[in-house]
Every structure is written in structure tokens, then in C-alpha cells.
Amino acid sequence: MEQLTKQWIVDISVDNLVSNSHIVEAAHELVSQQVVAFPTETVYGLGGNATSDLAIERIFEAKGRPADNPLIVHIAERAQLKDCVKEIPPLADKLMSAFWPGPLTIVFKHNGNLSKRVTAGLSTVAVRMPDHPIALALIKAAGIPLAAPSANRSGRPSPTLASHVNEDLKGKIKGIIDGGATGLGLESTVVACTEDKVTILRPGGITKEDLEAVCGHVFYDFALKKEDEAPTSPGMKYVHYAPHAPLTLVEGTDAFLHKTAEAAYEKGLRVGLLVTYDYQFATKVHKKVVMGSRDDLTTIAHNLYEALRTFAEGEVDVIFSEVFPEHGLGRAIMNRLKKAAGGRMVTESDN
């Protein structure tokens, strides 16, 4: 059943956000087990009381999210960890000191205080402290840890503007705090820590190189071992970030990318092209969206989801995108593009 979705515009530059009337009202809705979308430095999150089964059920219902996909819990102060986790491994403590608040999520053993819907029945929970004044103020005002996946319908590109949230979730949630555009534009890096090992489960704004500068060698584990296995981290199992038309990644020269797009155009398909300034020369396509320059991956990351959302439903039949080197921030960008494409990729060397 649809509900009225309130919208609060909050200026992040104002003093004492915790007592801001809009923040206080939104926090009251959260305490009342409603769900509210809010900006973070990564993407907009859909927040709900992490200890309430009802609030978490409302998150899953609004998003249409698979039940075995765990949620990330957001806190505003280190002291809130005791409400969520059993223990803090030394490596995790080291990473928190280096990167919190910020776009780093750490998987811990939980202490049973959280809703089982948050943890998807696992013994672990993913926690982070966002680096955004509105997010921190909202969590402090509510006085509870917030489970907060991205504020979009499951499978769609994550929202980097309040208008994206409105497009996907209007009528399905209690409210949206509009704090302007998010910063990074990609979700947080997710890591698991043992006594002597850090493993990246989902790449993000904190790169492997960033982590290794703090804690030594870092490992990767992006895939599940079994199809029926519950994912430890969001982003490990399901297709995410998909635009309205099928996306195919094209690995090769700029000439090969444009040849591939033009071949589809000549077959009578309405073709969309997702490119950088470096690859944008004239091509027979119906719509071309430029994300930025290959020399500035930070801008590509910031613009990626907005670019994917630019292709309106029914506007094109297929979308082709260039690919990026998989190191540094490029790993996170390619992780999202591969998920958005559902694994579809053509390679020049194969042709």
C-alpha cells in the first residue's frame, strides 16, 4: 500500500545538525520503526532501526530485496559497536583508526542484539561509520544503529541524488532527507578481518592499496563458493546496478567499441553508449552518455550510477560501455559495471 513520502531538504553547512528540525523529525520516524532515506558520502542509504524486525522488514519490502542479502549497519560513534559486535580483532581496530568515519565497512561477529533480518541469519554483521554530516547527525539524533542498504529498488543503479530515491521509492517509504549529491558515488569497500588477515569482499572507495598501506598484504574474495550460500557482504551474489536496457561491456580499443555499437545499430537496434571523453568520437547510436575522463577515475566513480540511470525505460534496446583497468579505484568501477551487465562482455581479442 502506498504511503505519503515526506521530503526534508537539509543544508549540510548549518550548525548543530543533530537539533535541526528536519533531522529530529526524521529521527523520530526511525525510532517509530519507519524507514527513511538519507545521504552518505557514498550513496543514499535507506535507514531503519537495526534492532527492529518490523523496520528491517519495511526496508526489504520497499527495496524488493532478497531475504538472504545482509544489510550494513551504520553507527555514528565507536561506542555503538558494543551494541552490535562480540569483539574487535586488532586488525579491524587498526583499520577503523585509519579509515573511520569513511567508506569502509568491516565484517564482525555479531552479539545477537540485532534483528536476524539484518544479518540474514549469519553469525556476522557488516558495520561502518559514514563520513557525512547528515548521516552522522541522523544516527546520533535517533540514538540507534541504522541498517541502511542503498535507497533504490533492488537491482537498480544506486542513488546519488534524492531524486533517484524518489524515482525508485516514492510511496514506499516514510521520508527522504535531501542533502544534495553524494560524494564518492560508489558504495563502501567491505572487508573481513581475522587475527592476521584482511580480505576484501566488495571493492569500493578505499582501495586495496590504501588498505595495504595500513595493514600489509590484503586478499580478495568476491565470489560465493556455492549458489545457495548466503552472501557475507552485500554485492556478492545478485545482479545489481542494472539500467533499464541490457548492458554489455566492450573490452578493447576505442575503435572496437564503436564498431560493436555500430553493428548493433545497423541491425535496427536502438543503441546506447556509455563512454568517457577519450572514447566519445562520432558513432551511429541513439544516445551517448559521457561519464568523464579516463585520467580521472574519481569522477567516473562519482558519475557512474547517474550515467546508468540516464537511459530512460524504453529509450534504447541495448547499451555498450567501455571498460577500465582493474587497479586502484578501477577495481570498484569494474565490479559495479560487471554486476550491472550481468557478466555480459565482448572482447576484441575474441573477435
CA 266 to chain centre: 36
Q: Is 124 annotated as a binding residue?
A: yes
Whether residue 82 is predicted with pLDDT greater than 50 in this model: the reply is: yes
Which pLDDT tens digit goes with each residue over 35-45? Answer: 999 999 999 99
Q: What confidence score (pLDDT) does residue 284 get?
A: 87
Which pLDDT tens digit goes with each residue over 188-222? Answer: 999 999 888 999 999 999 999 999 999 999 999 86
Query: Using CA atoms in the order 137, 140, 145, 150, what is the torsion angle rounded to 10 degrees?
Result: -10
**Type of residue numbered 27:** A
The SS3 call for residue 154 is coil
Q: Is 310 annotated as a binding residue?
A: no
Q: What confidence score (pLDDT) does residue 1 get?
A: 65
d(CA 334, CA 215): 24
**Type of residue numbered 76:** A
Q: Is 5 annotated as a binding residue?
A: no
Q: Is 244 annotated as a binding residue?
A: no
Q: Is 148 annotated as a binding residue?
A: yes
Whether residue 236 is predicted with pLDDT greater than 80 in this model: the reply is: no
Within 13 Å of residue 122, how many CA atoms lie on the same side as its CB? 22
H/E element, 329: helix 329-341
Burial of 78 (0-12, 13-18, 19+ CB in 10 A): middle
Q: Is 241 annotated as a binding residue?
A: yes
Which pLDDT tens digit goes with each residue over 303-336? Answer: 999 999 999 999 999 999 999 999 999 999 999 9
What residue ranges do the domains of the chain occupy? 6-220, 247-350
C-alpha cell read off for 300: 567516473
Please give the mean pLDDT across all residues of the chain. 93
Which pLDDT tens digit goes with each residue over 131-190? Answer: 999 999 999 999 999 999 999 999 899 999 999 999 999 999 999 999 999 999 999 999
Q: Is 307 annotated as a binding residue?
A: no
Within 13 Å of residue 331, how many CA atoms lie on the same side as its CB? 18
Q: What is 6-220's CATH superfamily?
A: DHBP synthase (3.90.870.10)
Burial of 226 (0-12, 13-18, 19+ CB in 10 A): exposed
Q: Is 349 annotated as a binding residue?
A: no
Q: Is 293 annotated as a binding residue?
A: no
3-class secondary structure per residue, 189-205? EEEEECCCCEEEEECCC
Q: What confidence score (pLDDT) does residue 229 get?
A: 54
Q: What is 247-350's CATH superfamily?
A: Threonylcarbamoyl-AMP synthase, C-terminal domain (3.40.50.11030)
d(CA 148, CA 150): 7
Q: Is 232 annotated as a binding residue?
A: no
Give the confidence band of 349 by pLDDT, cuts at 50, 70, 90: confident
Q: Is 331 annotated as a binding residue?
A: no
Q: Is 202 annotated as a binding residue?
A: yes
pTM (two decimals): 0.92
Give the confidence band of 226 by pLDDT, cuts at 50, 70, 90: very low
